[in-house]
Amino acid sequence: MATATAGETFVDQVLKEIILPARDQLLGNRYFTDLRAGKLSKRRMQGFSLEHTWFNWVLLKGTALRMLAAQNVGQLRGNLFQISEEKDHPDMCKKFGLALGLTDEDFDNHIPTFQTLQHTSVIVASPITVGNAAAGRASGMVNETLVQRYSAEFAEYLTKAPYNMTEDEIEFFIAHGVVDVEHSKMAAAAVARTALTDRDQELVWYTAKLQTSLKLAKFDAIYDQYV
C-alpha cells in the first residue's frame, strides 16, 4: 500500500510526464498557433463552439445518469456538485458561437466529429467501465488542467485585433481560465488521496494517457474539419 505522501508524489509524476507535456503540445498545435498569430478562421472558432457546446450538454446528461447509479451519499454529492458547477457552461460556450454568426438551428442540428464523440464517450462511460475512483478523478485532473490553460489562451487573444470580441462574448473562456485552476487542484488532491494501490496507479496512468491523446485529437479534428 502506498502512503498519502507517495500518492502526492505519484500525482506530481503524472503531471510532469503526461499532463503538462500534453498541455504544451496542445498550445503549440496549429489551432493555437493560428490564434496567437491572428489567423484563426471564424469557421474554426465556430467549430470549437459547436463541438464543445455539444460536449458540455452530454457531460451533464452523463453526470445525471451517474447520480442514479450512486452507491453512497458521497458519490451522490459529488455528482450534484459537478452539475452545479457545469450547468451554465453549455450556454456560455453557445454564446461564443452565436457571437460568431451561428444560429440556434446550427446547434440543434449539430453532429459532432468522430474525435469529439470518442472523447466525450470515454469521459462519460469510464466511471462505469473502469469503475475506479482514482482513475475517475484523473479524468477530471487531465481535462480541467487542459481546459484551464487553453481557455486562458483564448481569453488573452480573442479581445485583441483582429478578433475584437467582447468579454461577454468570451465569458466561457474567462470563467474557465480562472475557475478550472481550482478544479484541477481539487482533482489532483483527490487522486493523491485515492490512488493508494499499484492497481489504482496503473489505472490513473492509463486514464491520463488516454484522455490527453483524445483531447489532442479533438483539436486536430476541429482544425481539419472546419475550414
Q: pLDDT (tens digit, 9 = 90+) per residue, 97-147?
A: 999 999 999 999 999 999 999 999 998 888 777 878 899 889 889 999 999
Q: Domains, the chain, ranges and CATH? A: 4-225 (1.20.910.10)
pLDDT digits (tens, 9 = 90+) for 43-72: 999 999 999 999 999 998 888 877 776 667
CB of 196 closer than 8 Å to CB of 2: yes
173 grid coordinates: 473562456
Q: Find how far residue 207's CA is from the centre of its chain.
A: 14
- What's the rounded Cα separation, in Å, for the pair 151 and 138? 20
The model's pTM: 0.91
pLDDT of residue 65: 78
Q: Are 4 and 193 in contact (CB under 8 A)?
A: yes
Residue the block writes with cell 456538485 = 81
